[in-house]
Amino acid sequence: MRRSGEPAPPPSSAATAPPRSQDWQTLARLFPYLWQYKWRVLAALLFMVGAKAANVGVPVLLKNLVDALSFKPGDPQAVLVVPVALLLAYGGLRLSTSLFTELRELVFAKATQGAARSIALQTFEHLHALSLRFHLERQTGGMTRDIERGVRGIESLISYSLYSIVPTLIEVTLVLSILAIKFDVWFAWITVAALAVYISFTVLVTEWRTQYRRQANEFDSAAHTRAVDSLLNYETVKYFNNERFEAGRYDESLERLRRARLKAQTTLSLLNTGQQLIIAIGLVAMLWRATQGVVDGRMTLGDLVMVNAFMIQLYVPLNFLGVIYREIKQSLTDLDKMFTLMAREREIADTPGAQPLQTGDAPELRFENVVFAYDPGPQGRPILRGVSLVIPAGKTVAVVGPSGSGKSTLARLLYRFYDVQQGRITIAGQDIRQVTQASVRQAIGIVPQDTVLFNDTVAYNIAYGHPGSDQAEVEAAARAARIHDFIAASPAGYQTLVGERGLKLSGGEKQRVAIARTLLKNPPILIFDEATSALDSANERAIQAELQTAARNKTSLVIAHRLSTVVDAHEILVMEAGEIIERGTHAELLARQGRYARMWALQQSGE
């Protein structure tokens, strides 16, 4: 866990595998999700035992059938009894094995999928609850890959452990019991020794070669991160003609991935060869002992057939033990990464017992001696230095100033993306740190400077301001934002797809969609952060009138570079280097002949 305010490390895959104790901790965290379906778990275990009991019964049946073949040639009983007994008994046991296995998977599927769904949903919700700092520092491609592998790891872990490891242990126990009771104890000892050597070899070699598999996953995440980042910034790549450069970076990651996968495949071949050697030695030892027993008259031919069938049934699933063990370890690692992501501390959290914000129609908004730095350490650069301002209920206050003066930080703090280091921010007299974040954000609507849209329809993006709005409400908001005519003229109308991040629309069109969805939300507090910066002068004047109408009787904060958009504000604040250096109405600030007056003169001369 990191302390509040410390930069979050990128959630890429770890370079080291979790220790065994951490594997058990991961299983312990997974168990409650499965135990919600405890009756299905217990039923699946019963079906599993039934399947293995039927499977072990097949060699026993073969032994009895072979021993029963004592009929003389031409005996009519042989034609009647042997085929019927063989077909019915053998077919019945085989059918029972398959039936119990399918029932086990059918019963347990709901538990597996339910646990995967619950964990994936909790991770998704937790990611939305994490601070803006985390999302600014994350690597989207690597993080989504880790989540994808974590969800898949749940299914793999349950599948391999419940469907492979546990059934094999049950079968081994039953076979050893039969061999030790029916024959001499040497059969059991040979089987145990072969299994011990086989499992030890498999675990040791798999542990050694896991590093190559882990490296392959690291390089896979890195390649995916680079590919996603490059495609998200497609326009930038084209602007600077860097397609070859991006392809080279991606190929570099792919080359490292190729080398790691080749090492993984080489070591896998070594593992498989060693396993087959151990199996062969164990089979030879068991069959030699059984053959000697037949020669000495201590065992029948049926016993020899049964021992051989037992060994084949045991070693076939064990042949995949290396793969199963590796996959279980990898699933535990992937699941641990997702649980670690879920356990990441929320930098901004509701205080215990926080109540919803009570706003009314138009609440008063105050910044009281606010001091803030994105990095609160001694080396951090202060952004706001004792800022105090009041936006009276139902009034509009504008903040102007050069880039980097801290204007947009005011909006981020008001949304509680960060908490102030000193001072406080109140809405209707309530400290926003003492009320729920959801209620604060519900009371605020923002038109950001950089508008990002979902890769969906225009109607969806406008209705996002108030999910559930009908078409008439969406169109009314679009008309107020002066974008209805443009949408209506499109062949698909409101069902026009805007593309990734809204790139199919121009900057002005995206900004008008953002204005429309904020107007549709209709909150008591409005923030306009350069809301018309991407519009031409004609549209800006028209929309400015609509924004003034929308802001009537609402508490509004306007952040602007273009001073002509804020001349009617109740109060104008001029910020520089994190401090308010001037404040007053447009006329008062011009009369002072200070910084605002110089900015106004520069912009007027430029126009």
| CATH number of the domain enclosing 547 | 3.40.50.300
Greatest Cα pair distance, the chain, in angstroms, is 126
Is 357 within a domain? no
The total number of residues shown for the chain amounts to 607
Q: Are residues 475 and 329 in the same domain?
A: no
Distance in angstroms (rounded) separating the CA atoms of residues 53 and 545 = 80
Taking the chain, what is the end-to-end CA distance rounded to the nearest angstrom? 53
* Residue 66, domain member (yes or no): yes
Q: Residue 261: what residue type?
A: R
Flag whether 67 is in a domain. yes
d(CA 540, CA 390): 27
Tell me, yes or no, whether 508 and 530 share the same domain. Answer: no
The confidence score (pLDDT) of residue 504 equals 82
| Mean per-residue pLDDT pooled into runs of 10, the chain (607 residues) | 36 43 68 74 78 76 68 54 61 75 75 76 74 62 68 74 73 78 78 84 81 78 82 80 87 86 83 83 82 78 78 71 72 76 73 84 87 77 87 88 84 86 89 88 83 85 86 88 85 85 78 85 85 63 69 84 82 89 89 88 74
The pLDDT value given to residue 85 = 61
Alpha carbons 415 and 443: distance in angstroms, whole number: 10
Q: How many domains are contained in the chain? A: 3
Please give the full DSSP string across 210-255, using - where no structure is assigned. Answer: HHHHHHHHHHHHHHHHHHHHHHHTHHHHHHTT-HHHHHHHHHHHHH
Q: What is the dihedral of CA 504, 505, 510, 516, to 10 degrees?
A: -100
Domain of 473, in residue numbers: 453-514
Same domain, 303 and 431: no
Confirm whether 47 is domain-assigned: yes
Note the pLDDT of residue 322: 62
Q: Which amino acid is at 561?
A: H
| Residue pointed to by tokens 């000697």 | 292
Is residue 64 included in any domain, yes or no? yes
Q: How far apart are alpha carbons 220 and 256 in whole angstroms?
A: 9
Whether residues 262 and 203 fall in one domain: yes
Domain identity same for 244 and 198: yes
SS3 per-residue string spanning 451-496: CCCCCCEHHHHHHCCCCCCCHHHHHHHHHHCCCHHHHHHCCCHHHC
The DSSP secondary-structure symbol of 501 reads G
**Do 260 and 312 fall into the same domain?**
yes
Between CA 125 and CA 397 the distance in angstroms is: 35
Residues 408 and 498 in one domain: no
Angle at 322 between CA 318 and CA 324, to 5 degrees: 80
What pLDDT shows up at residue 379?
67
Q: What is the pLDDT of residue 8?
A: 37
Token couple for 325: 């063990």
Please state the separation of Cα 494 from the chain's center in Å.
Answer: 31
The span from the CA of 455 to the CA of 498, in Å, is 6
Q: Is there a domain that residue 349 lies in?
A: no
* 14 found inside a domain: no
Q: Please, are residues 474 and 494 in contact by the beta-carbon 8 Å criterion?
A: yes
pTM: 0.60
Q: Domain for residue 186, yes or no?
A: yes
